[in-house]
């Protein structure tokens, strides 16, 4: 059996590319895998909610195989791929003629789609899920979304994977802290990845400001590329406040240096797109306490292996409380990080994940 592997791969600066590269290595230990061959016995298609996956999406519809949904929302992807008339007809295909008016309204309001919950409530998964031989998801929220769109689809929940990195030395992390200007003794929080409205960056920056007002020696590293220029303009004054360090998207080696340097990670997501965060998996995997939005997407993580905040009006107060806990109780922060790392080692190991994929691909081979 030869597996055809269709995915964005490094150097594409995406979490999907990093995931795909790791999985490719794991699968090749089990049998023949070719990247984007013209023909194969079974195809594995990696899909995400952005334009990088356009050709892969089209091929997955033309030549059905196993689809990996890294985001259980394809709405924004389709908004970028289709014209107005095509988009409206696609929406009607998914949700019925009685939603034509809503489709027209959503098309006109698409400029705000990154933060408008309506675009996340209509994931537009039906066509991809119905055509697939099987659909791989990483969490129960994704599975539920697929089932709602394609009740007959074969759905396999396979955990997100983790590959232990080669971490920097303590002296390297200390030099990194000094280089980016973190005050000695400050508790360093980190926000990583693409910066869009759903990362709740305004809330995080407000909570950090309040920590400093309360006299807590805290710093905040914001590392990543802005997806939204409106958000970038809105938070620019807050990014210039004392204790905030701003870095662009980091190459792999520097990312791990920054990840090893921070004392905790804040990784909020709302509205969520059904994704399991690769950033959360990576930071938990190296023993860092991670603050997550309470959601079905993160429900597989044990309660004592991370910290959670709601996405309701209590979000700011809850986040501030969790940040105060971490800064005031170092033993608690360490214990949460260690329990998170143990969970990731047990449930997200590359070899075990690759084996589950391989068994699924064998079962779907025609």
Closest CA to 47 of 112, 164, 131: 131
pLDDT of residue 12: 85
| pLDDT tens readout for residues 166-193 | 999 999 999 999 999 999 999 999 999 9
| Arithmetic mean of pLDDT, 216-223 | 98
Q: Is 287 left (phi over 0), alpha (psi -120 to 50) or beta?
A: left
pLDDT tens for each residue of 327-356:
999 999 999 999 999 999 999 999 999 999
Task: Supply the pLDDT for residue 366.
Answer: 66
Identify whether the C-beta of residue 114 lies closer than 8 Å to the C-beta of residue 76.
yes
Question: How far is the C-alpha of 83 from the C-alpha of 173, rounded, in Å?
Answer: 48
Work out whether strand 187-192 and strand 264-267 pair parallel, antiparallel, or are unpaired: parallel
Taken in order of first residue, the domains within the chain and their CATH numbers are 3-74+123-161+349-364 (3.40.50.2000), 170-347 (3.40.50.2000)
Q: What is the pLDDT of residue 365?
A: 84
Q: How confident is the model at residue 280 (pLDDT cuts 50, 70, 90)?
A: very high
* pLDDT mean over 217-230: 93
Residue 283 has pLDDT above 90, yes or no: yes
pLDDT, one tens digit per residue, over 14-71 is 889 999 999 999 999 999 999 999 999 999 999 988 888 999 999 999 999 999 999 8
List, for residues 231-264, the tens digit of each pLDDT value.
999 999 999 999 999 999 999 999 999 999 999 9
pLDDT tens for 102-158 read 999 999 999 889 888 899 999 999 999 999 999 999 999 999 999 999 999 999 999
CB-CB contact of 220 with 245 (8 Å): yes
- Predicted model pTM: 0.92
Distance CA 120, CA 122 (A): 5
pLDDT at 293 (0 to 100): 97
- Sort 215 into a burial class: Cβ within 10 Å, 0-12 / 13-18 / 19+: exposed
pLDDT beyond 70 at 79: yes
CA pseudo-torsion sign 326, 323, 19, 172: negative
Q: What is the pLDDT of residue 271?
A: 87
Instruction: Supply the mean pLDDT for the chain.
Output: 95
């Amino acid at each position: 059996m030869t597996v055809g592997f269709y995915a964005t791969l490094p150097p594409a600066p995406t979490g999907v590319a990093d995931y795909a590269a790791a999985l490719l290595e794991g699968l090749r230990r089990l049998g023949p895998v070719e990247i984007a061959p013209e023909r194969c016995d079974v195809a594995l298609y990696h899909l995400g909610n952005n334009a990088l996956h356009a050709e892969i999406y089209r091929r997955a519809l033309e030549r059905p195989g196993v689809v990996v949904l890294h985001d259980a929302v394809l709405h924004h992807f389709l908004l970028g791929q289709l014209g107005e008339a095509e988009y409206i007809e696609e929406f009607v295909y998914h949700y019925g003629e009685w939603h034509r008016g809503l489709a027209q309204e959503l098309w006109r309001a698409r400029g705000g789609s990154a933060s408008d919950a309506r675009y996340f409530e209509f994931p537009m998964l039906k066509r991809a899920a119905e055509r697939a031989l099987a659909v791989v998801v990483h969490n129960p929220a994704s599975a539920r979304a697929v089932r709602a769109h394609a009740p007959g689809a074969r759905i396999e929940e396979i955990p997100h994977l983790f590959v232990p990195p080669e971490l920097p030395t303590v002296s390297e992390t200390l030099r990194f802290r000094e280089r980016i200007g973190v005050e000695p003794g400050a508790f360093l929080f980190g926000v990583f990845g693409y910066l869009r409205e759903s990362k709740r960056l305004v809330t995080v920056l407000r909570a950090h400001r309040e920590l400093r007002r309360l006299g807590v020696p805290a710093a905040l590293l914001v590392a990543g590329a802005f997806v939204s220029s409106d958000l970038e303009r809105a938070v620019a004054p807050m990014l210039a406040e004392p204790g905030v360090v701003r870095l662009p998207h980091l190459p792999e080696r520097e990312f791990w240096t920054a990840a090893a340097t921070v004392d905790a990670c804040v990784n909020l997501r709302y509205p969520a797109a059904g994704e399991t965060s690769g950033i959360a998996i990576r930071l938990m995997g190296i023993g860092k306490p991670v603050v997550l939005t309470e959601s079905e997407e993160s429900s597989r993580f044990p309660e004592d292996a991370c910290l959670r905040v709601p996405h309701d009006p209590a979000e700011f107060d809850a986040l501030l409380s969790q940040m105060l806990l971490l800064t005031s109780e170092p033993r608690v922060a360490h214990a949460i990080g260690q329990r998170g790392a143990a969970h990731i080692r047990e449930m997200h190991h590359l070899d075990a994940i690759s084996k589950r994929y391989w068994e699924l691909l064998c079962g779907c081979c025609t």
